[in-house]
Structure formats: C-alpha cells, structure tokens
Structure 1
Amino acid sequence: MMRLLARGATLLMALSAGALAWTAPASAAMPDRFAFVLWDGTATVATGTTPAATTVVTGPPGRYRIVFPGAAAPRGVVHVTAINAAPHWCQANTWGPSGVDEVVYIDCYKAGGAPDFTPFTAFFERSSPPNIAINGRFGYVDAQPTGALVDSFNSMGGLNSVTPGPVGQWTVKFPALGTPGPVDGSLQATAVSPTAARCKVFKWASNASGQTVLVGCFDALGAPVNTRFTLTYQYQTSLYGASWPPKYFGYLWNRPPLGPASTNFNSTGGVNGIGPAGTGLYLLKFPNLAVTPDTVQVTAAGPTSDFCGLNGAWFHFPPDTVVRDVNCFTNAGTPINTGFLISVNSQF
C-alpha cells in the first residue's frame, strides 16, 4: 500500500477569485445521515473521517469495504475521489445498511482500467422529506442508465428528473432549486458500476426555475458508456444539504479559467484561491475552513474524457484549508490543464 507523501510548508498562492456575502439562516436542516472517510493507503485519517470508528478493509485489487458505524440509511448517494500522484480514479460499486451501519464498497483503477489500490476520500449522505428550510439550495439523484431514479432529493420539494441522451450522456433537472443564473453553485458526480467507469459534469445552467445539468460518463478506454451514477448539487449550503451546522464549507469551479463568482463560495466570507502548480496541477486555499473532521471531493468538468483527483490529501494551516494539489489527466494518463469542481466541507 502506498502512503500519502508529506507536504511542504511553503505554498505559493494566487488569490484570483471572488466570493459571495454570507448571511446566517433563520433555520437549518440536517440530512438523515452523512459520513465520510479519508484513507491514506494503510489507515483512516481522523481529521478526514466521521464517525471516528469508521473502518476500511481491502478486498480484491482496487476494492474497498467501508463501514460507517451507526450511519445506516436506505439509498442515499456516494461520492469518492482518488488520492494519488499517478493517474487514478475511484467509483462507487454498491452501498446499503447492515444493521445500524452503512456499508459502502468502492473500486479504484489506474489509467488504462486496471484495478489498483490507492488512497481515497469517500462520502455518503442521505436526505428525505419532510424538508426544512435551509439557507441555500440542495439536491441529488442516484440514477440508472435508463434515467430511472434509485433515489432523489430536492430541498425545495421539486421532482428531479434524469433523461438519457446519446450514449454516456444524461440531462438532469433539479426543478425549484432556482438561483439567479446563468451558472451558480457546485456539483459532484460519481459513477456507480461493477466495471471501470467514471463520470463528470459536461455543463450546467442555472435560472429562477431550477438547475439543468449535463452529465457524461466514460469507460476505461475513454469511450462514452451508459452507467448508473450519482450527482449532488449544492448552492450556498454544504455537500450534505445542511447549513448551520455545518457552517464551514466552500466550493470552487475551475473552468478553466475560474468560473463566475457564484460558483466560488466560502461560508465564512473568505476568498477561495487557486494557482497553477504545474501541468494538470492546481494549488488551492480555502480561508477559515480549517475545522476538522472535514472532507474534500473533486469532479472533473468539461466535454472530454479527462478526469481529476487529488495529488495528496488536503491539510490545514489554521485558519485555512489547503489542497495541494488537484491533479487532472487525459484518459491515457497524461497531465492536462482542464476543468474541475471541488467541494470542501466540515462536519461542524
């Protein structure tokens, strides 16, 4: 098993993004359940894991069994991000309750499609009505290749839908999650499959009636593929769909260059920063978010088969959270400057 490389203390940061003002809501909602884990290749890392007693067991090459104690909930969504300096991705395989625990299986691959062990960060969340007012907008889908919904949630009570298009493409609509537009908030997408697949956000549009997202998925050869997938949308709320708590969260869209200010948010009012760290490498800083345990998820964005992950685990220079680095690759595993979405979320 590989360990995460130690990180240096000297950081070069280009602060070139805008931020939106933050106003605490009068009321807040918590999801039914949420849990996350940071696995360094040999052990869970306390600062990136909740519940603290979460366990990870390896299976066949690239297969992991995650047990989130006391977090059992039906259905819900899973997201996972590989952490490796070499080109890797991870995807969900299956998940569900086992007694009071939530058990999640994930699979990881290296470029070319061979199963391979790697560090990772994984996240589980489930929400259900009745909806309680939250500060922002939140929704998710777990969809079959046909567009049939395995699970779905919309913080405004709208009926989400998934419509298949050409092979490997789906139009996802989150009605009633209206925002000013033309593009607001952030997204995370993850393939759900027993065979190698990965998903990303091709594009999305925001307006007063809701969100429309085009999701694309690829196989290990970079060809479009029909697969089950999960997609989560957040706007001025955490990736769990709650606002206060947790009150420490942020997100950013690297288009590149950066997306509009409405896609770059920090709940403390800080200005998230991003700077180049080499071809396909991006160094990011999220001010005032160094509250642990916390989780980071990354999803590639754009119409090609490129994919993104983390070069190493995020770390904390209080009061800031630093991600060194997001890394992105072509299907063949060559570093490339490309688009991605990143979401940073504390438990508290």
Structure 2
Amino acid sequence: MKSFKWSALALLAGSVIGCGVPEGEEPESVELGEQQSEIARGTAVPNGTYPWAVSLHTGATPSTANLQCSGSHIAPGWVLTAQHCFDSNLDGVISASEFSANEIWASLDRTRISDTSRGQVIQGAQVFLNNTNDLALLRLASPSSAPIVQLANTIPAVNAAVTPAGWGLVNNSGTVPDNLQQGQFRVTGSNALDLFYTNVNTEEMCGGDSGGPVFTQVGGVVQVVAAHTNSPGGCGVSTGNATGSRVDVALPWIRSIIPAAYGFVWADQPSSTATYTPSSYYSHNSTGGTNTITRTAAGSYRVEMPGLGQNNGNVQVTAYGGAGNRCKVSSWGPIGTTLNVYISCFTLAGAAVDSYFVAQYYRAGAGNPEQGAYLWADQPFAASYTPSRYYSYNSRGGTNTVTRIGVGAYQANLPGFTLIGGNVQVTAYSYGSQHCKVASWGTNVVDVRCFDTAGNPADTYWTLRYTDHHVATNGQRGAYAWLSDSTSATSTPNSWYQWNALGTPLTASRWGTGSYTIHIPIIESYDKTSAMVTAYGYTNTACEVSSWYSGSAGGTDVNVLCRNATGALADSLFTMSYITNL
C-alpha cells in the first residue's frame, strides 16, 4: 500500500510536528483510500468558476474516493501543488511508498468532480520538487485545454483578503464534497517562504487542501499568491493560522522548469528541392534542436523544429524580400516531438510562388509577469465564439474570445489586461491566398481585418500574438514598435507601443513611398535574430520585411516595404517585432 507519513486520520485526531512543519500545524497528506481534507463550512463554487483549479486523484476516473490533493493549472499541461503530495516527509526523494507522477491524475476545468460533461482528466508524467519550499510542479502527459491562472510576484499585505479553494472534507464527520469549495480568509503575516492566513467568518481550513490555490482578485484578475500546505489541528473555528507556500519567492524556480518555448527561421533557399538547414544566424530553437526547411511544392514549405512538438502555441509568418509576395501559415502540429509548421506563399494575384519568408513559433511558459496572449481564430464565419483553448493563451487567466463584426472584420477580446501598449502580430491561416492585418488595438481588444487577393474584405482563419514588454521569454532581448507616422521622413514610434529590452528608444525613417527602416539601438543582428511585421490599419495594404542587418551606427536596422492590393508601394502604418536569443 502506498502511504504518506501523515494520514488524514492523524490530522483529524490532533496536531503533529513533522519535517519543515510549524509546531501545532501539519502537512495535509493522506493514505491511499483516505480522503484529503478541505474547507469546513466553506462555500460551493458556482459551476465553471475557477476553471484553472485542479483536483489531483489516484484514478483515471475521478471520484471523492480517490481524491488526494488540489492544485492550480499555471501553464498548458502543468500543475502547481504541494511537494508533500509526492514527497511526504519532504526529504527530496519520492520513494516507492510514495506517489509517483504517473500514479496521479488531474481533473481540470471541472468544478464538480463527477461532472463528465466538461473538462479533462489527464495522467501525470513527471514531477519536480522545489526542496526549499513545500511546492511541486506536475507535468501532465499531454497539454490541457483548461484556462491557466496568473502567478503573483508579490504577497498581499496583512489583513488583505485571500481566497483558498479546493476539494476534500468539509467537517469533522468526514464529509467529502463533490463541488469545489472556497472560503474567505485574511492575511495575518508571512516569512521568507510562507504566507499565513486565518478565517474571516466560520470557515476553516480543515487539515487539508494540500497544494490548493490561495489567491487574490485585483481588478477582476485572479493571482495565486500561495499553495496551501498546512492547517490548524482539527476542523474547529479560529483554531490558528493556515499556511501556504509563497509563489512569488518560487517564481525563478517555476520559470526555470517551465520556460517559454520558441523557434524561428529565415527561409533563405526558397527554390531548393532538397531539405536544408537555414542560416544559423537567423534560425533558433529553444530546445537546442536544429530547424530544417523542406519545399513540398511551388510556394509550399514544411518547417521542422525538433523538440517543440506539441498541440498548442502560436505561429506567425511574414514574407521576406522585395517581391511583394505574401506568406501565411497553413497549419502546424507535432509529429512525435518535432513541430511541423506548414507555410504557403502567393503572388499578389494569388498564385503560389517560391518566396523567402520568416516564421516564428511561440509557446507560453509559466510565471511571466508581463501581459501576453495568443489565439488561433478557427471559426471565421461564427458570430462570436471561444477559440480552441489548445491554441489560446492569456497570461491573466482570462478566456479569449473572437467576435465577427462584418465580412473579414473581427475583434479579439483578451480579458484581464489593464495596461496600454504592447505589440500585436497577425497572420492569415489556411491554404487560400487571403491575408490579414492588425486594424487597431486597445487595452484588451484587438481589431483584425482580412482581405482576398483583390483587396476585398474576406472571411478567413487567422492567428494573433500579443506581447507587452517581452517578445518570447521575460529574460530575453528583443524589441518592438508600432510605426505611428507613415509619412514623415523621420519619426519616433509612439512610446506606449514601442519597447527595447536594453532601454534605448527606437526610431523610424521613411525612404520613399511605402519604404521604411526601424532602427533598434544597441541590439545587434549578427546571431540568432528574427524580424516580423504586420501591416496596421483598416485598408488593404500589406507589409513585408525586406531585410535586417547591423546598422552603421550600431544596433539593428529592420527594413520594411508596404504595398496596396495592386502591388504598388503605398504608405502604411505597421507593427514590427524583433527577437534575438542573445
């Protein structure tokens, strides 16, 4: 029999003192077949609320009989919980008598354990122990479509309201709820590793909820501040402080385990009949794999990125050169552990054509404090819908939605964002010759416009990526800008919508009709760099990157050409994003 050092019966009987546990409090661990304890006299959470909350159990078919711990879905396919759910004595080793990752299953996006009409149940695959604090990360065997929750980078002040949530016992009689429970608590203090909180009314942490989220809500944005670890003895009222392991102090560890994954290429041999490795100066794979490109037909390509193969993330594509071609993403998905991205390129008349292009793939990690989102708009004719959650991400935990406001006119809603600025890239999707662009964006709304080859509005699929003060990972160099003046010889892009990881402002030059240079000071272009551009506005202009290189004054110059539907160079606003692995 698998067993933890402390059983639920012991927890209900009274206090024990264990490894790393404050006197008078105890870690919430259970023996197989016994029940994890919970919030006594708590409130049932309405169905569909906190869809990122996770129930961890020992069977593929979830029930209150096999409930073990709670957790939070913090990145696609990753759960934050307590270390002692796997390592009961907190010695840093998961022994044969403790639970391994693949013995635990996660129920996601299920307020009620028994509700099989929604959510997913996914087996665990790998567990990472913090060993400094009582925290663990569980990697699931496959990504989840459940929403994620934001992680806090600070702790709430004393007396601030916090809400713990989870499943388990709700009284001293051993009653286990089917429905997720929550309670009202207030912060009483903290130390270097832990947050302390106590009940506001009569609810009480009932010696359980191991790994469950303790969170705040500010401006409608939920932030997990701690994972619950220890409770006062018994299920009484006001019997002492509950304890949670602080998330903010663990963020560097979380980010190191779940970094953002990304890859990019510059297709520099568009007519090659053999698979080739693109220039390493302009190609990168965050997993260390070597990207390759295969031309499968005229204007059609397959980009292979080893190690990045998952059914999620986001792809953006732009044509490169001066021919006025348009390139787009046709599809992407995994073949084993390799990500295959399919690209299609067309002339202005809509004919398939061999073309240079730039392609970027990005998959969010965990714990990025900046705003970020992406989505694949997969229902071009629907009036309003929630796009596939496998390919949708919102760093604030909101559920992205798309609304069709007319032929070829769409609005992406990214709830939870509160800051003005950032950068948006949009690419048309599918095998047709349509193209899409950013029309405008505000705090949490992005307008998108799509057109056919004649420049008429056209319904089509598309992908969108939004970043704010980052371009891939929060520690990576990069830059972006929205060209907010398309007619002046020189200009400085709007300060709200430009960013340079090294701090120096970007500038813009116009060399002639539809011909521009964005200058990025300090950041050089000589190794593993990538530039992306999307036209901006409500007209049918389209833009491409014509080149980028280290400028004579230092830094990088990104050159952009914009054209109207007839192929003539035309002045246009646009957004540019630049990424480097340096």
* Structure 2: tracts of 5 or more residues without a match: 1-247, 271-275, 487-491
Offset at residue 319 of structure 1 (A): 4.9
Instruction: Mark the CA change 1:109 to 1:31 in structure 2 (over 3 Å): closer, same or farther.
Output: farther
The answer on whether the counterparts of 2:358 and 2:531 sit within 8 Å (CA) in structure 1 is: yes
1:231 corresponds to 2:464: yes
**Is 1:297–2:532 an aligned residue pair?**
yes
| Corresponding residue of 1:283 | 517
Match of 1:141 among 370, 375, 383: 375
Counterpart residue number, 2:61: none
Q: Which residue of 2 aligns with 1:110?
A: 347
Query: Highest Rg: 1 or 2?
Result: 2
- Structure 1's 31 and 230: CA in aligned 2 closer, same or farther, altered over 3 A? farther
SS in 1 for 2:281: helix
Q: Which letter does structure 1 place at the counterpart of 2:403?
A: T
**What amino acid maps onto 1:115 in structure 2?**
A
Q: Could you tell me which residue of structure 2 aligns to residue 194 of structure 1?
A: 431
Q: Secondary structure of the equivalent of 1:47?
A: helix
1:73 maps to 310
1:178 is matched with which residue: 389, 393, 418?
Answer: 418
Residue pair 2:478, 2:580 contacting (<8 A) in 1 also: yes
Which residue identity does 1:217 align to in structure 2? C
Matched with 1:41 is 269
Q: Please give the per-residue CA displacement for 1:218-261, whole angstroms capped at 9, x wherever unaligned.
A: 111211111111111111111x2x211x1x11111113346521
Q: 2:392 aligns with which of 152, 159, 168?
A: 152
Deviations 1:171-229 (A, max 9, x none): 111111210x3xx11100001111111110111112xxxx1111111111211111111
Contact 2:493 2:508 in 1 (8 A): no
Q: Distance in 2 between matches of 1:299 and 1:31?
A: 26
Where 1:262 maps in the other structure, the secondary structure is helix
In the TM superposition, what whole-angstrom CA distance separates every residue of 1:29-68 from its partner, at most 9, and x where no partner exists? Answer: 4655211101113561211101362111112211011101
Determine if contact 1:294/1:345 at 8 Å carries over to the other structure.
Answer: yes
* RMSD, aligned CA: 1.9
- Residue of structure 2 equivalent to 1:264: 498
Amino acid at match of 1:310: V
The aligned counterpart of 1:203 is 440
Aligned pair partner of 2:561 in 312, 327, 331: 327
Q: Which amino acid aligns with 2:450?
A: C
What SS is found at the alignment partner of 2:505?
Answer: coil
AA at the equivalent of 1:204? W
Tell whether 2:466 aligns with 1:243.
no
TM-score (norm: length of structure 2) = 0.51
Contact 1:255 1:338 survives alignment (8 Å):
no
Cα deviation digits, residues 252-297 of structure 1 (max 9, x gap): 1113346521101111111212101221110121112226312111
State, as a whole percentage, how many aligned pairs show the same letter.
28
SS at match of 1:158: coil
1:259 and 1:163 map into 2 onto residues whose CA distance is 29
Shift in alpha-carbon separation, 1:31–1:333, aligned structure 2, 3 A = farther
Shift of 1:159: 1.2
Q: Distance in 1 between matches of 2:363 and 2:501?
A: 22
Q: Structure 1 residues 103, 47: CA separation in 2 closer, same or farther (over 3 Å shift)?
A: same
User: Counterparts of 2:413 and 2:259 in 1: how far apart (Å)?
Assistant: 21
AA of the residue aligned to 1:233: Y
**CA distance in structure 1 between the aligned counterparts of 2:503 and 2:493, rounded to whole angstroms:** 18
Quote the Cα distance in structure 1 between the aligned partners of 2:519 and 2:279: 20
- Three-state SS of the structure 2 residue aligned to 1:311 is strand
Q: Counterpart of 1:149 in structure 2: which amino acid?
A: P
Q: Post-superposition shift, 1:133?
A: 3.9
One-letter code aligned to 2:308: A
Question: In the alignment, residue 237 of structure 1 is paired with which amino acid?
Answer: H
Could you say which residue in structure 1 is the equivalent of 2:325? Answer: 88
Structure 2: distance between partners of 1:319 and 1:99: 42
| 1:6 match | none
The equivalent position to 1:50 in structure 2, one of 269, 284, 293, is 284
In 2, Cα distance between equivalents of 1:306 and 1:31: 36
Letter paired with 2:446: V
| Ranges in structure 1 where 5+ consecutive residues have no aligned partner | 1-24
Tell whether 2:406 aligns with 1:166.
yes
| Alpha carbons 1:77, 1:230 under 8 Å: kept | yes
Whether the 8 Å contact between 1:199 and 1:218 is mirrored in structure 2 is yes
Distance 1:91 1:255 in 2: 24
Cα deviation per residue 1:83-116 (whole Å; 9 max; x = unaligned)?
1212111001011000110000000111111111
- Paired residue secondary structure (2:442): strand
Mean Cα deviation higher: 284-293 or 215-224: 284-293
Q: Deviations over 1:129-148 (max 9, x none)?
A: xx4142x2110111111344
The DSSP-based 3-state class of the residue aligned with 1:149 is coil
Q: Which residue of 2 aligns with 1:12?
A: none
**1:243 and 1:289 mapped to 2: Cα distance?**
16
What residue identity is the alignment partner of 2:269? Answer: G
Structure scoring higher RCO (CA < 8 A, sep ≥ 6) equals: 1
